[in-house]
A and B are shown apart, each in its own frame.
Chain A
Amino acid sequence: MTEASKPLAIALENCAKTFADGTKALEPLDFAIEAGETVVFLGPSGCGKTTTLRIIAGLEEPDAGGRVLFDGEDVTHLPIEQRNVGMVFQSYALFPNMTVAGNIGYGLRIRKTPDAAVKARVAEMLGMMQITKLADRRIDQLSGGQRQRVALARAIAVRPRALLLDEPLTALDAKLRDTLRLDIDKLLRSLGITAIYVTHDQAEAMALGDRIVVMEHGRVAQIGKPREIYQRPATRFVAEFIGTMNRLTGTTKDGVFACSAGSLPWAGAPATATEILFRPEDIRVAESGEVTGLQGTVAAAFFLGDRTRLFVEVGEARPLVIESTARRDFSHGEAVRLAIDPRGLLVL
């Protein structure tokens, strides 16, 4: 890849955003993005993730006192057209008055690049995104997936210092999302570019992010590597927003957690734990003869091919979710004994 510009380090200092109508979209945020890193901002709609991206892009200015630094240089008041960042929008924002090639070459033409160089770069981008055949099509002749490829090619063509992606896959159907997610991952790794990716889809965040910033109500709930966020969520919100979380309520006494499903020996139990959380992969149906103090009844069982997803009633508000790889059928109402791996237990 012939990407000349070196990756950009981005820092946000005390960046808050209050909109004209008084809505507080973002609480003061301090955050540094390392050069070449892919950071995913993840959260439900209205959590402030898009506002953060738009502040980094230069489409919004932070409230007074906030600063945006690109490689240490203050760009807070620099409009987006002077920041040299590539941006991909959820609605693609492709220009209907230009062909595919015209769209991809636009940023270069604005920079007064010689025609021959524009042509060569456009051809390179078309090849990279595997859309060479579409070069002369109009935008209204493209499907959603094709449009997103054009949008990516257009953003990268100008060799931006950073690539900003605002829910780029949300408008696509599930199968296409998977394909494009893989392509984007490959692209980001091969470019080595600093990338900021906004999504509400936790699977996308886990797959693409070097680090994930989980946001809630304009605040950062947790920052960490995907594995940390998943296995060691900092708050109840993070735990339940990412992946599936099981919950048991009860009391702890002498290293044993007791609940309506039975009792669970847990050597490292904090004395005050009244609620424990764990992932579906940390609980399994016990083998016959195995010693365990927990049991429940099967409320529903879905055979998925490689595994069976069980919903087991244990007298809690919600049934436990168990991913079982056992080679057997489960029937509704069947009594099952359960084993939990204590290493997966969380108290929040």
Chain B
Amino acid sequence: MKHRGLFYLQLGFTLLVSAFLIVPVVLSIMAGLTVNYFIGIESGLTLKWVFEVWNGYRDTIFLSIGLSLACLVVTLVLGVPTAYVLAKRQNALTRAIEELLVMPVAVPGLATALALIVTYGSLSGFRTSWGFILVGHVLFTLPFMVRSVLAVLSAIDLKTLEEGAASLGAGFWPRFRDIVLPNCRAGILAGSLMVVTLSMGEFNMTWLLHTPFTKTLPVGLADAYASLRLEVGSAYTLVFFLMIMPLLLALQAFAKPRPAKFVAEETDQ
């Protein structure tokens, strides 16, 4: 009987915590769908706000998606080879590089953004392009790609695997393509998930780096909350959800590790 009491106590607590997290999400979504938030749900449901957001802020959504995908491409091209070199050559220099790479995560985004503006702000063509924001995002997300690929590469015996491939006649590029890349797939996918998510949601650096023509989704969201009706801001959140969730779910599904199976000693005979 005592156990039963404990069970309900735990269940109640879990539900309470879940509610604490989920209720604001539901309320926010509902706020974006009600005619007048201050009157409440009695005022009726509408898609008006969602369309308003779609018409007014569509570009920020596409820019954010484009930006995060561009960021992903750059971090893949830079990050995977970097992680490979760091995994292969363990010395004082590579360890220093590994630490330095994390600096943009530790330094406040505002400081990084200011440094970029002070240094490159006068290159007006660059300053006003989305490439300027991309540089900031790459600085911020690169360590996440390098770290997750490096973690996977350090866990496998990369050196021996490569030696095995070389003994079978594979030169550097075939080895990299057939052995290194497929075996750090899990790290690349996990890193990609982080990079896309972080780039998509990055606010404090982007807020300084953006121009009126290069507004990303989170910057637009801040705009909407600050200058428009609460319903519009909430509808914006809803649109954000609808755009991001399928992307993240797809990446997550890719990144699932395959289960290992039981092994018994047997040969044909």
In angstroms, Cα B267 to Cα A84, docked, is 28
What is the 8 Å Cβ interface bit string for chain A, positions 153-182, against chain B (1 contact, 0 not)? 011001000001000000000001000000
How does the 8 Å CB contact mask read for A123-159 relative to B, with 1 for contact and 0 for none?
Answer: 0000001111110001011111110010000110010
Contact residues in A for B185 (Cβ distance below 8 Å): 97
Q: Quick one: given A95-B179, A106-B178, are A84 and B169 in contact (CB under 8 Å)?
A: yes
Which residues, 229 to 265 on B, are CB-close (under 8 Å) to A?
258, 260-261, 263-265
| Contact string against A for B residues 162-187, beta-carbon threshold 8 Å, 1 for contact and 0 otherwise | 01111111110010001100110100
Residue among B164, B166, B174, B263 making CB contact with A94, cutoff 8 Å: B164
Interface size for A (C-beta < 8 A) is 41
A68-91 vs B, CB cutoff 8 Å, 1 = contact: the mask equals: 000000000001111011110101
* Residue B103 interfacial (CB < 8 Å): no
A118 to chain B, nearest CB (A): 12
Query: For window 54-77 of chain A, which residues contact chain B by CB distance below 8 Å?
Result: 57, 59
Cβ A95 vs Cβ B265 within 8 A: no
Size of B's binding interface in residues, CB under 8 A: 29
Answer whether residue A93 sits at the interface, using C-beta atoms and an 8 A cutoff: yes
Q: Does A110 contact B (CB under 8 A)?
A: yes
Chain A residues with CB under 8 Å of B261's CB are 140-141
Q: Which of B160, B168, B264 contacts A154 (CB 8 A)?
A: B168
Minimum distance in angstroms from B163 CB to a CB of chain A: 6
> Is B266 interfacial (CB-CB < 8 Å)?
yes
Chain B nearest Cβ from A95, distance in angstroms: 6
B42 at the interface (CB under 8 A from A): no
Assess whether B268 is interfacial by the CB under 8 Å rule.
yes
Give chain A residues whose Cβ lies under 8 Å from the Cβ of B166: 59, 79-81
- Contact pattern, A 190-213, Cβ under 8 Å of B = 1, otherwise 0: 000000000000000000000000
Once bound together, how far apart are the Cα atoms of A35 and B16, in whole Å?
Answer: 77
Contact A91 B179 (CB under 8 A): no
Q: Is A111 an interface residue (CB 8 A)?
A: yes
Q: When chains A and B are docked, how far (Å) is the Cα of A131 from the Cα of B161?
A: 22
Please tell me if A107 contacts chain B, counting CB pairs below 8 Å. yes
- Any chain B CB within 8 A of the CB of A293? no
A107–B168 touching, CB < 8 Å: yes
Task: Say whether B164 contacts A81, CB under 8 Å.
Answer: no
Contact flag A91-B267 (CB < 8 Å), given A59-B163, A97-B179, A141-B260:
no
- A96-B156, A110-B170 given. 19 additional CB < 8 A pairs? A57-B167, A80-B167, A81-B167, A84-B169, A91-B160, A95-B165, A106-B170, A107-B169, A107-B170, A111-B169, A130-B267, A138-B258, A140-B261, A140-B263, A141-B263, A143-B264, A145-B265, A146-B263, A155-B168
Residues of B participating in the A interface, judged by any CB pair closer than 8 Å: 156-157, 160-161, 163-171, 174, 178-179, 182-183, 185, 258, 260-261, 263-269
Q: Top 8 nearest A-B pairs by Cβ distance?
A: A93-B164, A107-B168, A97-B182, A87-B167, A93-B160, A143-B265, A130-B268, A130-B267
26 A-B Cβ contacts within 8 A? A57-B167, A80-B167, A81-B166, A81-B169, A85-B167, A87-B163, A87-B164, A93-B157, A94-B164, A95-B165, A97-B182, A97-B183, A106-B168, A106-B178, A110-B168, A129-B267, A130-B267, A133-B268, A140-B260, A141-B261, A143-B264, A143-B265, A143-B266, A146-B263, A146-B266, A149-B267
